Amino acid sequence: MYGWIWRHLPGNVWVRAAISVVLVLAVVLVLFQYVFPWAEPLLPFGDVTVDNGAGAAR
């Protein structure tokens, strides 16, 4: 997978490395900005309230 991406990037080694870094940062940004905020409430790690099961914490 990563090998395939690497082979399909244009330019020489340095250009490819630079593009790779940008791609990795873009992926991290998407994860932090969109994926994790979406996933977090679905996981049972942050419920701090007591409620009668009606999901008051949600």
Partner 1 sequence: MAATTDHDESTGAPAQPVRRRPSRRRGRIAATVGFIGELLITMGLVLGLFVAYSLWWTNVLADRDASRRGDSIRNAWADEGPGELDTGKGIGFLHVPAMDEGEVLVTKGTGTKNLNAGVAGYYTKPFKSAMPWDAKGNFTLAAHRDGHGAKFHNIHQVHPGDAVVFETRDTWYVYKVFAELPQTSKFDVGVLKDVPEGSGRKKRGRYLTLTTCTPVYTSDYRYIVWAELERTEKVDADRTPPKELRHG
Residue type, 41: P
Nearest partner of 28 among 39, 36, 40, judged by Cα:
36
Instruction: Give the residue, chosen from 25, 26, 31, 34, that forms a contact with partner 1 under the rule CB under 8 A.
Output: 31
For partner 1, the closer of residues 11 and 37 by Cβ is 37
Number of residues that bind partner 1 (CB under 8 A): 24
Nearest partner of 19 among 10, 27, 30, judged by Cα:
10
Q: How far apart are the first and last CA of the chain?
A: 38
The answer to whether 11 contacts partner 1 (rule: CB under 8 A) is no
Positions that interact with partner 1 (CB under 8 A): 1-3, 28, 31-32, 36, 39-41, 44-54, 56-58
